[in-house]
C-alpha cells in the first residue's frame, strides 16, 4: 500500500521536517496526524528557512495536497498566521485548494491556552494542546464539524463559556470567556476556513484506492507518546505508528513503510528523566547544543543534550516497527575525540536493558556507555559536496570509516537498517543507502 509514515524516534526535534520535505517530492498527499502547534519542523532550502508548526512539511512540493488530520488539535489563529507567512514567501493561498482540515479535528480556543499557561510541572509549550485533548476525551470538546451548529445555539454557547470559566478558576487564571467571545471566535473561524473543512478520512481513503502516494507526518517523538513515553513528562497525543493511520482516518493495513528519525545524539525539551544528559556549559554537550542549534522551533527553549541512548531507540523500534532509520546531525559530532553511546542502564546497582515505566525509577538510571573513535569535522559546503558525490552510486560508503562504524553499531543494536544520514540542515545535505527509499537526486523545491 502506498502510505508511508515518518515518525520521531526519540523525544522529538529529530529532524523529521527535512526527511518529510525530501519524500514529499514523490508524494501526492502529506498528512499531519496528531499534535498541534506544539510541534515545530524546520526546513532549510538554500537561503530560505521555513519553520512550520501546523502546516505539513510536504507543503514545499506545490503538487502535494495537504491534510490536517482528525487526530490533531488545531489553533485557527496560529494556522492563519502560518498561512500568511507562507503567502508572503510564495503568494500561494492553499486553503481549500490543496490544504484541507479534518472536520473531526478539535479546535483550540483561547481558553485552552489560558488554562495551559498555568502549568508549572510538566513543562508544556503552553499552546493549549493538553487541555484541548482533555476536552476531547471528556466529550465536551468542539470539533470543526461542530462549529456551524454551535454558532446558532445560544444555550450551548453559554454553557460552554460557563464550563471554561469554572475550569480557569480552578488553576487561578483570572481571565474570563463570554458567550459573545465564543460567538465571535467561531464566526471568524468559519469565515476564514469553511472552504477547507472536509471529511478528510474519506478523501484519503479514495486517494489510496486511486493509487496515490500518501506521506503521514508525525510530530514530537516516540518517547513523548502519552501511552508509551516517559509519562507524565510526555505530550498529550499518541505519537506512534499505531496512530499514523487512526489519526489520519485510514486503516493500519494501508501503511506500507515507516521510517524513524533519530539524531546521532539525543536531545529533549522540557522536564523529565534523561539518562544520557550532558552539561550545556562545557564539553560534548555544549558542542551539541551550539553546533546543532539546539533550540526549540516552537518555543525557542534550549534543548537538553546527551549521548545517543540506544536503549530508548530500541524501545522506540519495539513500539513502531521501523522499516529503516534516518540518522540526522552526524556532522555535529565532528572533531570529538570519541563518541559515546548508551547500551544499558544501571538501576540501583543492577544492569537493565529497558526503560523502566515509572519516572521515579528511570530518573535513577545511570547510563552504561561504549565508545568509538571520533571523526574530523567539515564545513557545511564540504558536507553538501560529499552528499552530492554520494548520489553517484556510493551512498553511505562515501562516509569515513569512523562514521560508518558508528552507523553499523546503531543498526546492529536496534535491528533496523540506516537508510539515510543527515550531515547538515540543508535539504541537500543527506547521504542515503544505495537503492534505499532516500536514494534519489533531490530536486529543487517548487515553492
| Residues with catalytic roles | 13, 41
Beta bridge partners of 31: 67, 216
Q: What is the DSSP letter of 72?
A: B
- 3-state SS of 288-326 is HHHHCCCECCCCCCECEEECEEHHHHHHHHHHHCCCEEE
Helix (H) / strand (E) containing 43: strand 41-45
Residue 273 CA to residue 259 CA, distance in Å, equals 25
Query: What is the C-alpha to C-alpha distance for residues 211 and 206, in angstroms, rounded to an integer?
Result: 9
Whole-Å CA distances, 160 to 127, 166, 443: 20, 10, 49
Task: Please give the backbone phi and psi of residue 431, each rounded to the nearest 5 degrees, phi first.
Answer: -125, 120
d(CA 316, CA 190): 39
**Residue among 160, 204, 202, 198 at smallest CA distance from 179:** 160
CA distance 324 to 417: 5
From the number of C-beta atoms within 10 Å of its C-beta (0-12, 13-18, 19+), residue 282 rates as: exposed
Collapse the DSSP code of 442 into the 3-class scheme (helix H, G, I; strand E, B; otherwise coil) and give the result.
coil
Radius of gyration of the chain (CA): 22
Q: Which residues contact 56 (CB under 8 A, 6 or more apart)?
A: 20, 30, 31, 32, 66, 67, 68, 215, 217
Handedness of CA 185, 188, 192, 198 (dihedral sign): positive
Amino acid at each position: 500500500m502506498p502510505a508511508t509514515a515518518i515518525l520521531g524516534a526519540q523525544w522529538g526535534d529529530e529532524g523529521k521536517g527535512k526527511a518529510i520535505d525530501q519524500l514529499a517530492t514523490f508524494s501526492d498527499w502529506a498528512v499531519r496526524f496528531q499534535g498541534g502547534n506544539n510541534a515545530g519542523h524546520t526546513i532549510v532550502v538554500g537561503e530560505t528557512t521555513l519553520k512550520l508548526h501546523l502546516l505539513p512539511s510536504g507543503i514545499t512540493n506545490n503538487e502535494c495536497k495537504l491534510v490536517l488530520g482528525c487526530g490533531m488539535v488545531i489553533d485557527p489563529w496560529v494556522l492563519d498566521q502560518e498561512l500568511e507567512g507562507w503567502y508572503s514567501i510564495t503568494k500561494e493561498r492553499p486553503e481549500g485548494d490543496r490544504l484541507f482540515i479534518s472536520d473531526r479535528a478539535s479546535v483550540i480556543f483561547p481558553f485552552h491556552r489560558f488554562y495551559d499557561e498555568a502549568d508549572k510541572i510538566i513543562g508544556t509549550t503552553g499552546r493549549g494542546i493538553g487541555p484541548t485533548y482533555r476536552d476531547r476525551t471528556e466529550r465536551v470538546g468542539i470539533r470543526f464539524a461542530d462549529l456551524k451548529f454551535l454558532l446558532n445555539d445560544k444555550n450551548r454557547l453559554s454553557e460552554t463559556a460557563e464550563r471554561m470559566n469554572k475550569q480557569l478558576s480552578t488553576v487561578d487564571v483570572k481571565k474570563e470567556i463570554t458567550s459573545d467571545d465564543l460567538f465571535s471566535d467561531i464566526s471568524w473561524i468559519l469565515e476564514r476556513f469553511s472552504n477547507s473543512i472536509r471529511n478528510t478520512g474519506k478523501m484519503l481513503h479514495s486517494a489510496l484506492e486511486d493509487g496515490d502516494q500518501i506521506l503521514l507526518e508525525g510530530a514530537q517523538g516516540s518517547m513523548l507518546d502519552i501511552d508509551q513515553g516517559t509519562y507524565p513528562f510526555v505530550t498529550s497525543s499518541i505519537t506512534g505508528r499505531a496512530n499514523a493511520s487512526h489519526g489520519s482516518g485510514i486503516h493500519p493495513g494501508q501503511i506500507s513503510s515507516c521510517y524513524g528519525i533519530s539524531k546521532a545524539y539525543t536531545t529533549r525539551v522540557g522536564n523529565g528523566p534523561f539518562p544520557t544528559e550532558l552539561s550545556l556549559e562545557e564539553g560534548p554537550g555544549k558542542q551539541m547544543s551550539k553546533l546543532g542549534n539546539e533550540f526549540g522551533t516552537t518555543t525557542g527553549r534550549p534543548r537538553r543534550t546527551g549521548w545517543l541512548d540506544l536503549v530508548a531507540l530500541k524501545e522506540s523500534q519495539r513500539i513502531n516497527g521501523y522499516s529503516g532509520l534516518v540518522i540526522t546531525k552526524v556532522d555535529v559530532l565532528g572533531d570529538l575525540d570519541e563518541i559515546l553511546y548508551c547500551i544499558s542502564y544501571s538501576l540501583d546497582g543492577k544492569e537493565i536493558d529497558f526503560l523502566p515505566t515509572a519516572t521515579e525509577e528511570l530518573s535513577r538510571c545511570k547510563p552504561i556507555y561504549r565508545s568509538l573513535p571520533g571523526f574530523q569535522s567539515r564545513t557545511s559546503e564540504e558536507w553538501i559536496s560529499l552528499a552530492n558525490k554520494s548520489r553517484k552510486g556510493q551512498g553511505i560508503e562515501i562516509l569515513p570509516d569512523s562514521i560508518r562504524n558508528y552507523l553499523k553499531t546503531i543498526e546492529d543494536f536496534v535491528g533496523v537498517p540506516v537508510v539515510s544520514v543527515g550531515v547538515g540542515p540543508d535539504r541537500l545535505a543527506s547521504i542515503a543507502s544505495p537503492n534505499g527509499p532516500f536514494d534519489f537526486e533531490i530536486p529543487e523545491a517548487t515553492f
